[in-house]
A and B are shown apart, each in its own frame.
Chain A
């Protein structure tokens, strides 16, 4: 009887270890951006009657979370502008040209945080956003980050945010704004991962 009980308890412990260990993330943890489980997408008005949706398929980044002092957390993201994808090859080629993203001159869109503070449900992040050769400081709420899930030796934490940007603020030619609206809404849902401690 005792053997059965011990075996059952051990099974439970092993199962819990394999299939999930939900707990608070520790301070100053470094995460890398998980492209497979993340997305950076956007939408912009077309002729002011509908929305054009798109995404960037090649994104890289890293962030560090300091639970004890949120101000020491950092966030960094690099998007390859050429990976723009609006499900239409002709439009994607057009967007890569100098009238829009000018990917041969400005191959990346980058964000680097300069200030982070804790808010309810996440963080308020301030940083330098560089697109089309222009850098502007932006501030946005980044929700998530409180739960860290461990699966198969990898610890994961997730964030999401939505921000509005005007293309004309970043050096896009006002005369080339055209039928696509100046303002774009960018939606970022990302997971960061780090290896479990041995």
Chain B
């Protein structure tokens, strides 16, 4: 049975650990060593995730037997590794002058990370659905080859679009709010998955949402914009958030009872942040910009949650129904 207190504790612990690692780095590293920060955001996220998942008693199962295990043991470590590599190349690139030989080498290395990200977009869905009824020959629900290619292509395009648009938005301004909107979508995805009946699948979203939100906030509050390019700090978190959101919604949709509409609305909701780039809203800055962006993202998420709650009450009511007996006079 869901234990809201245990969820809250794990959320708080994951967020606190991630933020604490980043804040400690901020105050322990000298200004000259600050170029290492992009490489340190990923270990901060990792520390928070490990604490959060341990508190929620998620086992580390190898080889992974189901989609959630494959997410925790393959997809999540892969995206953490790719973004950590990206962070290292960014740090090294910031350290070396771009005109120097080593600087050019690091810039080149940084561009290769794009191929790894593309590979992740292409393979994430396939990994999550491995050995499921959709891919088993002879199973009545198995996809044909054409259907499989359409699915993989669709997954890759959706993830690429979200990831690239959010990275582009983060390069423009307030990158922390992009991470925060991703965290909100992940949290909503988790709660919706729980309400459609897959408790553990929804619970897995909590530490991820917490660490993405906490690191986005910590980087925004404790790292001055002129000290380091903010976008270079947030790129890794956005990657982890985008792939994590995609994976959890994929699991909820194909193994749980999440509908396609719910999954697509939640997945694309962070793109609502782009509305603030309209010329009339471009005057917004700072916390006002954050607030408007998060409110815009919350609109479709709120609609999905409201609908999921309504369906949950309808579906679960018979299981928890209280039979009322009317007393009759003799």
Contact = CB atoms under 8 A, between A and B. Distances in A.
A90 B318 contact: yes
Contacts of A171: 65
Contact of B256 (A90, A98, A106, A179): A98
A55 to B, nearest CB: 18
Interface string A84-102: 0000101101100111001
A107 B133 contact: yes
Interface residues of B, number: 27
A133 B139 contact: no
A198 to B, nearest CB: 33
Contacts of B198: 97-99
B43 interface: no
Interface string B110-151: 000000000000000000000111101001010000000000
Main secondary structure of the interface of B (DSSP, over half): loop
Contacts of B251: 98
Interface string B62-81: 00011110000000000000
A98 B67 contact: yes
Nearest to B318: A90
A175 B318 CA distance: 23
Contact of A105 (B67, B199, B318): B67
B319 A176 contact: no
Interface string B177-196: 00000000000000000000
B316 A175 contact: no
B319 A105 contact: no
A18 to B, nearest CB: 40
Interface in B262-318: 315-316, 318
Contacts, number: 61
B131 A173 contact: no
A150 to B, nearest CB: 34
A104 interface: yes
B68 A98 contact: yes
Interface string B13-39: 000000000000000000000000000
B152 interface: no
Contact of B319 (A90, A98, A133): A90
Contacts of A94: 197
B261 interface: no
Most buried by B among A88, A102, A104, A133: A104
8 contacts: A90-B319, A93-B197, A98-B67, A99-B197, A104-B254, A104-B255, A105-B66, A179-B1
Given A98-B66, A105-B65, 5 more contacts: A94-B197, A98-B68, A102-B66, A104-B255, A105-B255
Interface of A: 88, 90-91, 93-94, 97-99, 102-107, 133-134, 171, 173, 175-176, 178-179
Interface of B: 1, 57, 65-68, 131-134, 136, 139, 141, 197-201, 251, 254-257, 315-316, 318-319
- 5 cross-chain pairs, A with B, having the tightest CB-CB distances, nearest first: A133-B65, A90-B315, A104-B255, A105-B66, A94-B197
